[in-house]
Structure 1
Amino acid sequence: MERSLETQVSQAVDAWLRWLPRWQPATHRGRIAPCRRCIGSPVLSAVGLGADVPHGVQHGLSTRMKAIVDAAVAEYTSRNLPMLQAELDQQAARNRARSYRPAEGLAPEFEGLPLDPEPVAGAPFLFTISGLAQESDDAVPELPPLSSEAKAALRQEVGLADDYANMIGREVCAVLLHHRLRVQAAVAQHVEPQIEAMLAELTRSLDAPFEPGAERGGDT
């Protein structure tokens, strides 16, 4: 039996809550580019995860909600939008023909994130994961071109799919309002103490920049 949207959202939130105790603050250099999936996300606003919550915590939840919307849109498309479905099927077959697909099969916490770290000035990479993936993609033949009439019909179906996605997204946000308190309680329990500990350690290092017993410049 098909699960209701409420059940899907509840189960996705449950999965995120089970993962959250394993979250730890990242120790590497942060990324410059904002995550387009999370910044300004109405999903995150619905559960009260604002800019003060680390991105890794946000991303795990927003990605799970996106999967729910994507599945609903895929079902709607298969039933009502034959031309768009045919185009998606061709693209899926093309993707399967690629020999290297590093972005597939990732856990929700990593899905949609850049494959490579930010480049460092003066220290170029010998190779990048995204570059290798692009080489694999370039080796697969392009899809056949569409006629002007087919392009117009396809744009119309894409618009319908977008409208449906927006409708499902609003329903997901409405359901998420009922999970707001337990999401925030989990953040308070598992995330905020780690952030406070990091800030306390930073404060100690700024107050006492020298190790005990170390010589200080200017001491006699």
Structure 2
Amino acid sequence: MERSLETQVGQAVDAWLRWLPRWEPATHRGRTAPCRRCFGSPILSAVGLGADVPHGVQHGLSTRIKTIVDHAVATYTAQNLPMLQAELDQQAARNRARSYRPMEGLEPEYEGLPLDPDPTPGAPFLFTISGLAQEMDAAVPALPPLSAEAKAALRQEVGLADDYANLVGREVCAILLHHRLRVQSAVTEFVEPQVDALLSELSQSLDAPFDPGEPRLGGLDAER
């Protein structure tokens, strides 16, 4: 029996809450481009995860909820949109033909993130994971072209699928409002202390920029 949308959302939030105590702040250089999945997400707004919450915390929840919406749209598409379903089936078969699929099988916390870190100016990569994936993709034959009539019909079905996704998304956001307090409580317990510790460490390093063993500028001036 298909689980209700409310049950699926509750289980997704439960899974995120079980993962959250294992979260640790990233120590690598941050990205300049915002995450398209999380930036301005109504899902995150519904549970009160604003810009002051680290992206890794946001992404773990938004990805889990997006999976629910995607599954609902996939079921609707299979039952009501035959042309779009056929196109998706062809694309899925093409994807399975690729020998290298680095975006598959990832944990929710990493789904949708860029495969490679931002390059350092003046230090190009010898190779990138996304580049290797593109090479494998180029070796797979492209899908057959569609006629103008088929393209028009497909665009119409895509529009219907988008409308249904928006409908499910609004319902999911309404359900998430009931989980808002426990999500924020978990952030207060597990996330904020780590962020505060990082800020405290940063402020200490800024207050004492010199090594304690090194003479300060004032000391040098005093000896002159």
Which TM-score tier does this pair reach, normalised by the shorter chain?
over 0.9
Per the alignment, residue 89 of structure 2 pairs with: 89
State the distance in 2 between where 1:134 and 1:118 align. 17
Per the alignment, residue 192 of structure 1 pairs with: 192
Aligned residue-pair number: 220
More displaced, 199-208 or 162-171?
A: 199-208
Equivalent positions of 1:42-121 (< 5 A) are 42-121=42-121
State the distance in 2 between where 1:20 and 1:167 align. 29
Equivalent positions of 1:106-145 (< 5 A) are 106-145=106-145
State the distance in 2 between where 1:146 and 1:208 align. 66
Shift of 1:15: 0.3
Could you tell me the TM-score, scaled by structure 2's length? 0.96
State the distance in 2 between where 1:177 and 1:207 align. 42
Question: What amino acid does structure 1 have at the position aligned with 2:74?
Answer: A
More displaced, 202-211 or 89-98?
A: 202-211
Per the alignment, residue 170 of structure 1 pairs with: 170
Gaps of 5+ in 1: none
Deviation by residue 1:135-163 (Cα, 9 ceiling, x = unmatched):
00000000000001100100000000000
State the distance in 2 between where 1:109 and 1:53 align. 15
Moved over 6 A (4+): none
Shift of 1:209: 1.6
More displaced, 204-213 or 131-140?
A: 204-213
Shift of 1:206: 1.1
RMSD: 0.9
State the distance in 1 between where 2:68 and 2:104 align. 17
State the distance in 2 between where 1:216 and 1:97 align. 64
Percent of matched pairs sharing the same residue: 82
Shift of 1:212: 2.6
Per the alignment, residue 34 of structure 2 pairs with: 34
Question: What amino acid does structure 2 have at the position aligned with 1:138?
Answer: A
Deviation by residue 1:66-96 (Cα, 9 ceiling, x = unmatched):
0000000000000000000000000000000
More displaced, 208-217 or 107-116?
A: 208-217
Shift of 1:215: 3.1
Per the alignment, residue 14 of structure 1 pairs with: 14
State the distance in 1 between where 2:216 and 2:97 align. 63
Shift of 1:213: 2.5
State the distance in 2 between where 1:43 and 1:93 align. 31
SS in 2 for 1:151: helix
Gaps of 5+ in 2: none
Shift of 1:100: 0.5
Shift of 1:53: 0.3
Per the alignment, residue 151 of structure 2 pairs with: 151
SS in 1 for 2:29: coil
Deviation by residue 1:151-210 (Cα, 9 ceiling, x = unmatched):
010000000000000000000000000000000000000000001001111111111122
Question: What amino acid does structure 1 have at the position aligned with 2:51?
Answer: A
Question: What amino acid does structure 1 have at the position aligned with 2:117?
Answer: P
Deviation by residue 1:44-75 (Cα, 9 ceiling, x = unmatched):
00000000000000000000010000000000
Could you tell me the TM-score, scaled by structure 1's length? 0.98
